[in-house]
Amino acid sequence: MTVRIVLGAVIMLAGLALAGRRLLWLGSLVRSGAPAPGRVNGAPSRVWAELAEVLGQRKLLKRWRSGLPHALVFWGFIILTFTIVEALGDTFISKTFAIPVIGHAAALGLIEDLFTVIVLAGVIVFSVTRLADSPARRGRRSRFYGSHTRAAWITLAMIAAVMVTLLAYRAAQVNTGDFPYGSAAFASHALAQLLQPAGTGVNAALEAFFLLANVAVIMGFLVFVTYSKHLHIFMAPLNVAFSRRPRALGALGELPATAGAAGAGHIEELSWKQLLDTLTCTECGRCQSACPAWNSGQPLSPKLLIMDLRDHLMSPATAGRASAGRATQGSAGGKALVPGVISPEVVWSCTTCGACVEQCPVDIEHVDTIVTLRRRLVEEGQIEPAVQQVLQADAQQGNTFGKSGRMRARWTRDLGFPVKDARKEPVRYLWFVGDFASFDERLQAMSRQLAVILDDANVDFGLLFEDEHDDGNDVRRVGEEGLFQMLVEHNMASFAKASFAEIFTTDPHAFNTLRNEYPSYGLDKPVVHYSQLLERLLADGSIPVEPLGLRVTYHDPCYLARHNRLTDPPRRVLRSLGCEVAEMPRHGLNTFCCGAGGGRIWMTDSPGSSSSQPAERPSENRIREAVAVGVSYFVVACPKDFVMYTDAVKTTGNSERIQVVDLIQLVDRARGPVPALEAV
């Protein structure tokens, strides 16, 4: 008994010391980060997030095939803390130790056994998943591509070892008569049958051995966890607790800035939450599988980006500086994050579509971190010339097309009726047209169509004409925060000149920033997307329509669906028009980006630049998905989508099979007998 206590104590103290030391060190790394404001306010939503995301495994269960086993193993480990307490009690207190209150209730024995078996089964499912999606075989298509697969296998083996030693200890206990639970603990009793022939003496030895082995494996696992990607079992609850609520989408987060310099150029300039993100990543690769950049052969994987930042954070040089205290902060030394740790191509590949953030089970905020890195690159002038041109034009002319600002409302000229000037007379709705719908010749036709629809429906709307400037959503996501603020200030001044009750826009990007970011600059009017406006007008009969009887599919714009959770209004519009919506596999919050967001539409590089095999563009990938649904119409609710997908239909050679149409065109068609849907 003494030997057991001493051995147990040595194992425990060694394990706790090693793990504790490591955790303290990790804590010092996180604390070396810059401040992250607003991470503790709104406690109720944080508690709810803990319950739903951690205990409830909400995001994981969206993919039940891997999510359910994970949830069961997670819950299993929570249940099995009882066995750990019992094992420690057995080791250090007495063989008859029982957890206070619960005691040796038969139900506890059953649950313990049940979850031991379930966890073992889970380990098998995980192994099968990893074998089936092996990165060695599937390359970039595997979500485990670039993950530490060896550590993952060790983790699985250790989990199995915890379960096996536990069961063996309990089975030996059955045979020595020390087992406090009856036949409800079915697995222990079943294994006991196998061990019984060895005799009581051997079983007594086995009992002692497996008890200590169990404690040793648990302690070993504890230490291993703190040194591996499996750290998430400690970090995830923290990361979720400190995450941006309700989600790190919509408005951009409050990003770190060092004195005088925007964004982050060195690891310690990232916020502590961004550093915590890197330690929390489990390398599960759900972000990577959903990422439009990764899927079109671009070098960006949100997972690998976070992992690279973590590896750099933990590298001896960086970590040494961090533990030496924050006095060394700044750009005094260490590798530049870009290009030293992350290549510029990776940073610029992001469309800011938010698929990674949506997927991440541990609430990592990839997009905010990428924009943080971009801000510093912009600060240093390291932007590709094509984007520079756009930003300069935007600063000079107030639009990203480099056109004269006076041309902005030129599209209204041939309407046959005057469009109200909201600066001169009050209007109910202020139409924020946005750059694309104002200046792109193909989209101008659609803007005219919508103006006619609204005019016919007696909607009281007006424009800001040349006083409307670029909304700045994409400029901000490129990392040009100064320009964004300048644009906001201009637009806010323009709003102040006008009299209106509500703003609407066709552009989900403009919608996003007007709705989520302009309020902090003083905008206090409701902002709606035109799909919401059309929904109202169809519902109250202002736009009389005949059913179209079409079968269509609908593409959710990232900035409408994921960033703003609006997936129903466009679908309701389609139903009002008598269209049947056949969904693509990736729809709603899981929609797939067209590839134009986050300033990507202004960049020159082509897909597949990172590999010898040219991959398809995100928009082309998407059109193939739509064609497979077997519908003739691909409905969009975003000007950029219209441009991107019209091109993709051509480049994939699908002009005969599918046509890209905007909600506006369908509404227009349903309003009256138009012979055929004209391609714009």
Partner 1 sequence: MTSMASDVLVLAERAGDQIQDVTYELLAKASELAHAWGGKAEVALFGPPELAAQLPAADSVICVDHPALAGYLPDAYQQALLHVLRERSPRLLLLPNTTMGLDQGAALSVLWDAPLAASVTGLTAAGGVAVATCQVLGGKVLAEVELAGERAICTVVSGSFDPSAGQAGGPAEVVTIPPPAELDAPRMSVRQMFEPEAGDVDITSADLLVSVGRGIGSQDNLELVAELADALGAPLSASRPVTDSGWLPKTRQVGKSGLKVKPRAYLAFGISGAPEHLEGMRGAELIIACNTDPHAPLFDIAHVGTTEDLFDLVPALTERLAP
Partner 2 sequence: MRIVVPLKAVPDLVEEIEFTPDGTGIDREYLAFVLNEWDDQALEEALLVKEVSGGEVIVAGLADDPGIDQLLYTALAKGADGAVKISGGAQDTHARSALLAAYLAESPADLIITGVQAPDDLDGQLPPMLAARLGFPHVCVAIAVEAAGGSARIRQEFSGGRSQQLEVTLPAVVGVQAARQPPRYAPISRIRQVTQAGGIEEVTVPAASTQPALTVRRMYTPEQTGHAQMLTGGTGPVADQIIELLRSRGLVKG
User: Which residues of the chain form contacts with partner 2 (CB under 8 A)?
Assistant: 262, 378-379, 381, 383, 385, 388, 391-393, 395-397, 402-404, 406, 480-483, 485-486
Q: What is the nearest approach in angstroms of partner 2 to the Cβ of residue 680?
A: 20
Q: What is the nearest approach in angstroms of partner 1 to the Cβ of residue 380?
A: 22
Separation between Cα atoms, residue 147 and residue 131, nearest integer Å: 14
Q: What is the nearest approach in angstroms of partner 2 to the Cβ of residue 382?
A: 8
Specify the residue, 5 or 386, whose C-beta has the smaller distance to partner 1.
Answer: 386
In the block, residue with structure tokens 């696992």: 221
Looking at the DSSP bridge assignments, the partners of residue 579 are 550
Query: How many alpha carbons fall within 13 Å on the CB side of residue 502?
Result: 14
8 A C-beta contact, residue 303 and residue 376:
no
From partner 1, partner 2, none, which one binds at residue 141 (CB under 5 to 8 Å depending on kind)?
A: none
Which residues of this chain interact with partner 1, rule CB under 8 A?
386, 402, 440-442, 602-607, 614, 650-651
Looking at the DSSP bridge assignments, the partners of residue 503 are 430, 527
From partner 2, partner 1, none, which one binds at residue 396 (CB under 5 to 8 Å depending on kind)?
A: partner 2
533 burial type by CB count under 10 A (0-12 exposed, 13-18 middle, 19+ buried): buried
Separation between Cα atoms, residue 222 and residue 204, nearest integer Å: 27
* Token output for 409: 């409302």
From partner 1, partner 2, none, which one binds at residue 441 (CB under 5 to 8 Å depending on kind)?
A: partner 1
Q: What is the dihedral of CA 219, 223, 226, 228, to 10 degrees?
A: -110
Specify the residue, 113 or 435, whose C-beta has the smaller distance to partner 1.
Answer: 435
From partner 1, partner 2, none, which one binds at residue 381 (CB under 5 to 8 Å depending on kind)?
A: partner 2
Q: What is the nearest approach in angstroms of partner 1 to the Cβ of residue 634?
A: 19
Q: What is the nearest approach in angstroms of partner 1 to the Cβ of residue 32?
A: 40
Peptide bond into 246 cis (omega under 30): yes
Specify the residue, 331 or 396, whose C-beta has the smaller distance to partner 1.
Answer: 396
Q: What is the nearest approach in angstroms of partner 1 to the Cβ of residue 56?
A: 45
From partner 2, partner 1, none, which one binds at residue 262 (CB under 5 to 8 Å depending on kind)?
A: partner 2
Mapped onto helix, strand or coil, the DSSP state of residue 353 is: coil
Specify the residue, 80 or 475, whose C-beta has the smaller distance to partner 2.
Answer: 475
- Residue 526's alpha-carbon distances to 29, 216, 419, 465, 505, in angstroms, are 43, 60, 21, 20, 11
Specify the residue, 323 or 404, whose C-beta has the smaller distance to partner 2.
Answer: 404
The Cβ of residue 497 has, within 10 Å, a number of other Cβ atoms equal to 11
Q: What is the nearest approach in angstroms of partner 2 to the Cβ of residue 485?
A: 8
From partner 1, partner 2, none, which one binds at residue 602 (CB under 5 to 8 Å depending on kind)?
A: partner 1
Mapped onto helix, strand or coil, the DSSP state of residue 263 is: strand
8 A C-beta contact, residue 264 and residue 385:
no
Mapped onto helix, strand or coil, the DSSP state of residue 258 is: strand
Q: Which residues contact 345 (CB under 8 A, 6 or more apart)?
A: 298, 299, 300, 605, 609, 610
Specify the residue, 253 or 595, whose C-beta has the smaller distance to partner 1.
Answer: 595
Specify the residue, 176 or 654, whose C-beta has the smaller distance to partner 1.
Answer: 654
Separation between Cα atoms, residue 257 and residue 260, nearest integer Å: 7
8 A C-beta contact, residue 127 and residue 251:
no
Q: What is the nearest approach in angstroms of partner 2 to the Cβ of residue 439?
A: 11
Specify the residue, 242 or 436, whose C-beta has the smaller distance to partner 1.
Answer: 436
From partner 1, partner 2, none, which one binds at residue 486 (CB under 5 to 8 Å depending on kind)?
A: partner 2
How far does Cα 510 stand from its chain's mean position? 21
8 A C-beta contact, residue 437 and residue 639:
yes
Q: What is the nearest approach in angstroms of partner 1 to the Cβ of residue 463?
A: 21
Specify the residue, 371 or 533, whose C-beta has the smaller distance to partner 2.
Answer: 371
* Token output for 90: 């057995």
Specify the residue, 210 or 484, whose C-beta has the smaller distance to partner 2.
Answer: 484
Specify the residue, 384 or 583, whose C-beta has the smaller distance to partner 2.
Answer: 384
Q: Which residues contact 190 (CB under 8 A, 6 or more apart)?
A: 171
From partner 1, partner 2, none, which one binds at residue 650 (CB under 5 to 8 Å depending on kind)?
A: partner 1
From partner 2, partner 1, none, which one binds at residue 442 (CB under 5 to 8 Å depending on kind)?
A: partner 1
From partner 2, partner 1, none, which one binds at residue 483 (CB under 5 to 8 Å depending on kind)?
A: partner 2
Mapped onto helix, strand or coil, the DSSP state of residue 609 is: coil
From partner 2, partner 1, none, which one binds at residue 183 (CB under 5 to 8 Å depending on kind)?
A: none
From partner 2, partner 1, none, which one binds at residue 388 (CB under 5 to 8 Å depending on kind)?
A: partner 2
Specify the residue, 92 or 401, whose C-beta has the smaller distance to partner 1.
Answer: 401
Q: What is the nearest approach in angstroms of partner 1 to the Cβ of residue 384?
A: 10
Q: What is the nearest approach in angstroms of partner 1 to the Cβ of residue 386?
A: 5
* Token output for 532: 């919401």
In the block, residue with structure tokens 């509500």: 502
- Residue 37's alpha-carbon distances to 243, 255, 415, in angstroms, are 11, 9, 49
Separation between Cα atoms, residue 624 and residue 617, nearest integer Å: 11
Query: How many alpha carbons fall within 13 Å on the CB side of residue 66?
Result: 15
Q: What is the nearest approach in angstroms of partner 1 to the Cβ of residue 21?
A: 52
